[in-house]
Chain A
Amino acid sequence: MTETTVRIPTPLRPLTDGAADVVVEGSDVAAALGALGARYTGLLERVLDEDGALRPFVNVFVGSTNLRELDGLRTELREGDVISILPAVAGGGPA
């Protein structure tokens, strides 16, 4: 199996017991995210909608390339790839 690292953004770390980098197995992004979701309940719903598509306020990158520019969730992974999840954050550091 292909081992990759998923970088968890701060807003989702409460769901990974604070883990910032999680190593998962999966030959493509969908499988890797599925493995992540199996390990941490509630996490996948924050990234994917009911139909399993990426939510519009989340971007997922393999290396520095957006999934949208690759094959989406079907993007194949190589050993050691880093998957980054980046949600929109509003803050400027309010009152």
Chain B
Amino acid sequence: MRASDQRLAELRETIPEVTPAEARALQEQGAALIDVREPDEVAQGSPAGAERLVRGFLELRIEDAVPDKDRTVLVMCAGGVRSLFAAEGLRQLGYSAVRSVLGGFNRWKEDGLPVEHPRVLDAGERERFGRHLLMPEVGEQGQVKLLESRVLLVGAGGLGSPAALYLAAAGVGTLGLVDDDVVERSNLQRQILHTDDRVGTPKVASAELTLKALVPGVTIESYELRLDSGNVDEVFAGYDVVLDGSDNFPTRYLVNDACVKLDIPNVHGSIYRFEGQVSVFWPGYPGRRGPCYRCLYPAPPPPELAPSCAEAGVLGVLPGVVGTLEAVEVIKLLLGIGDPLVGRLLHFDALAQRFSEYAIEPNPECAWCHAEGEFPEYVDYQSFCSSAGVGAKAAG
């Protein structure tokens, strides 16, 4: 008898086995079903609701997936052999109720039990996102989540440039870009999505070229238009997060109002010369109740008190810092990790090289985020801002 056969016989003595139908019933009562097969096998189908932890990383990752060592854990492979070895590994980690599924996924399928086809990473994605996969906070499931995510960037300018580059690089699968501007040479001091030979071409087209050169698989949805009350609902629909990188108050208030109405997190960044502000306006955040942009700034400054960057100038690197901070918040929100800037205003002063954080509270009088019943109609944003920053190119 070969040593492996002998070991298997021993494991069958010690590891309880359950049929796929029994496993399904236990799963419905709260047991964790762990599919330990390789990614190419999982791509052909996997039990509905199963956790997929490849055998090679099972012991390293199980405690994140199943923190409770007394929870029943059902281990499944293709035929019921590898799962016995895997189950033994889990017992040695201290899991007290481990079962192996007899006949594995092959029998699960034959028995007509529910199967799903999870999105798994292909070999190229596995290589590209390898540094993410090493971190339990992202891992394979987090990376798949990023690939299936949709982020809308309002503005493909100063803030949108670094944000879009890093979000695409991180594997966010779909990026929407709203901008009706064309590339000008004076943009290139900071808008690093664009290149000198694209001066005169639409920013959304230029951005798509750059982003696809970085990540060929990224999907770009271009909106070469000015956001207004009439199109905002349609443009925003279906996005998981909106990143505000606009350059004028009418657009900022419109982005706020639409995000509150549609319950989409609004990752805010704004800059002036050497300083920037970053926050996440998301009254619907389950973790705590934060303000919306109107709670913080009920009305915009009159235009003479709010010169644009075009008039006042801006340090070219500044949007790099602020847009990148926005990208960090987006990734955290998509993965559901860390503590977002909800109810927190982060201020960056480049000259002092100082970050300051301020607590910002919801305003109980806010007509937008405290609206009961019907959401207020969108207003006329141009006249509300009494022409503050009108001319309003989307995005720095």
B361, A66: Cβ atoms under 8 Å? yes
A64: Cβ under 8 A from any B Cβ: yes
- Contacts A10-B274, A84-B358, A95-B310 hold; do A46 and B248 have CB atoms under 8 A apart? no
Q: How far apart sit A89 and B301, CA to CA, in the bound complex (Å)?
A: 9
Interface residues on B, range: 35 or more
B249 within 8 A of A: yes
Contact B358 A92 (CB under 8 A): no
Whether A91 touches B359, Cβ cut-off 8 Å, given contacts A57-B297, A57-B299, is no
In chain B, positions 334-383 with a C-beta closer than 8 Å to chain A are 345, 347, 349, 351-352, 356-361, 363
Q: Report the separation of the CA atoms of residues A11 and B349 in the bound assembly, to the nearest whole angstrom.
A: 12
Which listed segment binds A: B40-48, B65-73, B186-194, B230-238?
A: B186-194
Question: In the complex the two chains form, is A10's CB within 8 Å of B359's CB?
Answer: no
Give complex CA distance A46, B272 in Å.
Answer: 16
**A86 and B347 contact, Cβ closer than 8 Å, known pairs A57-B299, A92-B157, A93-B319:** yes
A9 contacts across to B, CB distance below 8 A: 272, 275
Per-residue contact bits, chain A 19-61, to B (CB 8 Å; 1 contact, 0 not): 0100000000000000000000000001000000001111101
Does B141 sit within 8 A of A, measured CB to CB?
no
Q: Closest residue of chain B to A92, judged by CB? A: B396
Residue A17, interface by CB 8 Å: no
In the bound assembly, the distance between CA atoms of A6 and B331 in angstroms comes to: 35
A92 touches B271 (CB 8 A): yes
Q: Which of A7, A20, A92 contacts B269 (CB 8 A)?
A: A92
Q: Are B249 and A88 in contact (CB under 8 A)?
A: yes
Give A contacts to B, CB under 8 Å.
Answer: 7, 9-11, 20, 46, 55-59, 61, 64-66, 68-69, 84, 86-95
Sample (5) of A-B pairs whose CB atoms are under 8 Å apart: A64-B358, A69-B361, A84-B356, A90-B246, A91-B270
Contacts A93-B396, A95-B184 known; list 18 others, CB within 8 Å: A10-B275, A20-B349, A57-B306, A59-B358, A68-B361, A84-B347, A87-B305, A90-B246, A90-B248, A91-B314, A91-B396, A92-B160, A93-B309, A94-B308, A95-B157, A95-B186, A95-B310, A95-B393
